[in-house]
Structure 1
Amino acid sequence: MQALEDLDYLAALDNDGNLSEFGIIMSEFPLDPQLSKSILASCEFECVDEMLTIAAMVTAPNCFLRTPPGTEEIALTRWRKFSHPAGDHLTLINVFNAFKEASAKPPSQYYSNEKWCRDYFLSCSALRMAEVIRAELVEIMKRIELPISEPDFGSKENIQSIKKSLLSGYFMHIARDVDGSGNYLMLTHRQVAQLHPFSSYSNTRRIPEWVLFHEFSVWEDNSIRVISEISPELFMELVPQYYFTNLPPSESKDILQEVINHLSPVSTVKEEEKTNNDSKENEKCPQTPTEQRCVIQ
């Protein structure tokens, strides 16, 4: 029942409980429904190239190796090279691009992909698996004739588009730091979780208040893995209203309701302006009886 409810929130089901046209397209991807939805949303927000990389990296095994005792600080310093201030999803893009760049260099007797990965405490097999998965996703996009936008990673607009695409699929995976110490309360199930040790935020003093996470792991000390910072305004822009209404009562929901109340007057003014403009247009160009019948139909 929970799975059906999640699919309904993602607009993958029709009113009869069968796959909708959108759901049929989502099912073409051998991925979790949330990830498939994010890829399809990236077509609208024109960040398909980056979203495919993220999908491949979160589907492949974890690329960050557990470090031998005594090398933790060295590993953190090496990983910091890939860290992106916007969060782990974009950090994974940096890792993948760096691996591709290293792979493009001709191998030498003294340096290879494997050695590059060892130097940065990364799993070479996981990154190669991500390459294979990404290539398969590209082929699926081409087969079902979906557009693949040109890469534009790094620009402010692109980062915002990536977050919008992720929120389109993962609006059910939102958590808020309730006390400023890294104790995250998930909006949907109201469970408390900690940042995963591999998160780029784990080793910084700045802990984001609102985050989107890829998955929640009970067996890893109730941690949320692969997270990115989001704003309440962006969340409310993309979350389905009926999902938000069904959220259990909490302080976080009250804060989000205040965001809605703050944004509503602006929306109302715009709607009134649009109505007034439409009325003026109708006065200038009165409709014939035939046109009026077409509008009614």
Structure 2
Amino acid sequence: MQALEDLDYLAALDNDGNLSEFGIIMSEFPLDPQLSKSILASCEFDCVDEMLTIAAMVTANCFPHLPHGAEEAALMCWKTFLHPEGDHFTLINIYKAYQDITLNSTSEHYVEKWCHDYFLNYSALRMADVIRAELLEIIKRIELPYAEPAFGSKENNLNIKKALLSGYFMQIARDVDGSGNYLILTHKQVAQLHPLSSYSITKKMPEWVLFHQFSVSENNYIRITTAVSPELFMQLVPQYYFSNLPPSESKDILQQVMDRLSPVSTMKQEQTTCEKCPETTEQRCTIQ
């Protein structure tokens, strides 16, 4: 029942409980529904190239692990790839560095040694390369729009967050006391950021984060996190999902944000946007 509810929130089901047209397109991707939704959202937000890299990297489990006995050395190497916007962006940095080494080297042994020196999983990165190529083929086969890479620009950073939120709005947590204790919105579990999160390393804890995975261990960890604003969250989350969130201080804060983003102000913003943007006949995939 939870799985059906999640698919419904993602607009993958119609009123009869069958796959919607949107859900049928999502099912073309051999990925978790949240990732599929984020990829389709990236078509609308002009960040398909970056989202495919993220999808491949998390699917191949390329997030590094601290090797026993070499923690400090691994952290120093990991800092090379850190991105201030969060872990999803850091994974893109890792993949781009791996690609550069691969393209500029004729020796597979050299690439493997580079991965070893930087405490990266060579096999996982190779698998990410394969997965990304397969996802790109699917994009081309079903003729979805594919924008040119723009990683690094402020607009692109925001668009990546929008695409991620479109799929992962059910996986949001808030730092409730300013010391890194994150309360997950959907239930009352409190978790810590993974020690290898870019925010844990830089000691800059954002108040609101989107996370890819929640693992119950000796310490509850949320893994692969990226900072989001409550305003952006409320612009993209389905209202029927928000109305079903359990009562909490976080929900009260989001309600205040929603009250500020009133229909009147939203309508004025849309009218301003339409006046500034020229008409276009280009077909785009629209996120429900």
Pair in the same fold by TM > 0.5: yes
Tell me which residue corresponds to 1:292: none
Which region of structure 1 is more displaced relative to structure 2, 27-36 or 194-203? Answer: 194-203
Tell me which residue corresponds to 1:196: 194
Tell me which residue corresponds to 2:224: 226
Q: Indicate if the aligned counterparts of 2:186 and 2:245 stay in contact, CA closer than 8 A.
A: yes
RMSD of aligned residue pairs (Cα, Å)? 1.8
**Once the 2 structures are TM-superposed, how far is the Cα of residue 268 of structure 1 from its aligned partner?**
6.8
Tell me which residue corresponds to 2:278: none
Letter in 2 for 1:194: Q
In the aligned structure 2, how far is the partner of 1:215 from the partner of 1:133? 19
Tell me which residue corresponds to 1:62: 62
In the alignment, structure 1 residue 130 sits paired with structure 2 residue 143: no
Alpha-carbon distance change, 108 to 214 in structure 1, aligned in 2, over 3 angstroms: closer
Alpha-carbon distance change, 54 to 269 in structure 1, aligned in 2, over 3 angstroms: closer
Alpha-carbon distance change, 194 to 267 in structure 1, aligned in 2, over 3 angstroms: same
**Once the 2 structures are TM-superposed, how far is the Cα of residue 215 of structure 1 from its aligned partner?**
1.0
- Scaled by the length of structure 2, the TM-score of the pair is 0.90
The gaps in structure 2 that reach 5 residues or longer are: 273-288
Which region of structure 1 is more displaced relative to structure 2, 220-229 or 36-45? Answer: 220-229
What SS is found at the alignment partner of 2:131? helix
Which region of structure 1 is more displaced relative to structure 2, 170-179 or 75-84? Answer: 75-84
Q: Which has the higher contact order (CA 8 A, sep 6+)?
A: 2
**Once the 2 structures are TM-superposed, how far is the Cα of residue 107 of structure 1 from its aligned partner?**
3.4
Letter in 1 for 2:106: P
Tell me which residue corresponds to 2:279: none
In the aligned structure 2, how far is the partner of 1:59 from the partner of 1:270? 40
Alpha-carbon distance change, 62 to 108 in structure 1, aligned in 2, over 3 angstroms: closer
**Once the 2 structures are TM-superposed, how far is the Cα of residue 262 of structure 1 from its aligned partner?**
1.8
Tell me which residue corresponds to 2:92: 93
Q: Indicate if the aligned counterparts of 2:66 and 2:74 stay in contact, CA closer than 8 A.
A: no
Matches within 5 A, 1:69-218: 69=69, 71-107=70-106, 112-218=110-216
Q: Indicate if the aligned counterparts of 2:105 and 2:111 stay in contact, CA closer than 8 A.
A: no
Letter in 1 for 2:172: I
**Once the 2 structures are TM-superposed, how far is the Cα of residue 72 of structure 1 from its aligned partner?**
1.5
The gaps in structure 1 that reach 5 residues or longer are: 275-297
Q: Deviations over 1:129-188 (max 9, x none)?
A: 100000000011111111211100000000000000000000000000000111100001
Letter in 1 for 2:188: R
In the aligned structure 2, how far is the partner of 1:39 from the partner of 1:231? 21
Alpha-carbon distance change, 167 to 77 in structure 1, aligned in 2, over 3 angstroms: same
Tell me which residue corresponds to 2:286: none
Q: Indicate if the aligned counterparts of 1:187 and 1:247 stay in contact, CA closer than 8 A.
A: yes
Q: Which contiguous aligned blocks of 4+ residues in structure 1 show a shift greater than 3 angstroms? A: none
Q: Indicate if the aligned counterparts of 2:54 and 2:92 stay in contact, CA closer than 8 A.
A: yes
In the aligned structure 2, how far is the partner of 1:233 from the partner of 1:269? 16
In the aligned structure 2, how far is the partner of 1:90 from the partner of 1:196? 16
What SS is found at the alignment partner of 1:18? coil
What SS is found at the alignment partner of 1:211? strand
Which region of structure 1 is more displaced relative to structure 2, 252-261 or 111-120? Answer: 111-120
Q: Deviations over 1:49-107 (max 9, x none)?
A: 000000000000234143231x2222111111100000000000000000000011123
In the aligned structure 2, how far is the partner of 1:163 from the partner of 1:250? 24
In the aligned structure 1, how far is the partner of 2:107 from the partner of 2:51? 32
What SS is found at the alignment partner of 2:28? coil
Tell me which residue corresponds to 1:290: none
- Scaled by the length of structure 1, the TM-score of the pair is 0.87
Number of residue pairs matched?
A: 271
**Once the 2 structures are TM-superposed, how far is the Cα of residue 219 of structure 1 from its aligned partner?**
3.1
**Once the 2 structures are TM-superposed, how far is the Cα of residue 266 of structure 1 from its aligned partner?**
5.1
Q: Indicate if the aligned counterparts of 2:43 and 2:145 stay in contact, CA closer than 8 A.
A: yes
- Rg larger in 1 or in 2? 1
In the aligned structure 2, how far is the partner of 1:268 from the partner of 1:84? 32
Q: Which of these residues, 234, 237, 246, is aligned with residue 239 of structure 1? A: 237
In the alignment, structure 1 residue 8 sits paired with structure 2 residue 8: yes
Q: Indicate if the aligned counterparts of 1:60 and 1:127 stay in contact, CA closer than 8 A.
A: yes
Letter in 2 for 1:15: N
